[in-house]
Structure 1
Amino acid sequence: MARLAAHEKIQPHWWVKTFAGLILGLTLSFALVITFAWYGPGGIDAPVKVQFNMWMISPIWLLILSFTYLFKTGLKAVSYLLVANILAYGVFFLLGGRA
């Protein structure tokens, strides 16, 4: 059985990965849901989207949180989630000028 080299293994930075998934994952799920809420079908005033938007935050957040443990280091988890947050909020605010 072939073993991975020490530098190729997923490093156990559990605390950093957990906090990255909890904090940055939550903010990323907010950004994804508010972008859909404002610019999706019917806009922000669509009455049936309120409950859908509210209930979609948790599954998206938990999906992001679960995938954070696949990063090799905690620093990579933080940096990639931070970039994803910047991009998601950037898209939200860039679309805001067109609505």
Structure 2
Amino acid sequence: MARLSAEEKIQPHWWTKSLAGAVLGLTFAFAVVGIFAWYGPGGIQAPNKVQFNMWMISPVWLLILSFSFLFRTGMRAVLILGTANLIAWATFLLLRYTL
């Protein structure tokens, strides 16, 4: 079995990964739940959907925070989660102003 080189191993950049998962994960969770809230079944006016959306932010955020430690480096976590945020928020705003 071949050993991994130093570049192939997951690096312990805990502070960067934690901040990326906490801050960028939360903003990504807001975007994903916002898209579902506005454009999911029944739209924003669906009964009881507000409560469901509020409670869905935490599991989505914690899932992203948990998986942020699997990135190889902290900078890669920031870049990928930042890109995911840009795509999610651009999608939300594009849908918001076109529909």
- The answer to whether the superposition gives a TM-score over 0.5 is yes
Letter in 2 for 1:91: T
Q: Match of 2:93?
A: 93
Q: TM-score, length-normalised on structure 1?
A: 0.95
Identity of counterpart residues, as a percentage? 66
Q: Mean Cα displacement is larger for which, 59-68 or 43-52?
A: 43-52
Q: TM-score, length-normalised on structure 2?
A: 0.95
Q: Match of 2:47?
A: 47
Q: Match of 1:33?
A: 33
Report the RMSD for the aligned CA atoms in angstroms: 0.9
The within-5 A match list for 1:1-99 is 1-99=1-99
Q: Mean Cα displacement is larger for which, 29-38 or 44-53?
A: 44-53
Unaligned runs of 5+ in 1: none
Aligned length: 99
Superposed structure 1 runs of 4+ greater than 3 Å apart = none
Unaligned runs of 5+ in 2: none
Letter in 2 for 1:23: V
CA shift digits 1:31-68 (9 cap, x unpaired): 00001001111111112211110000000000000100
CA distance in 1, matches of 2:16, 2:6: 20
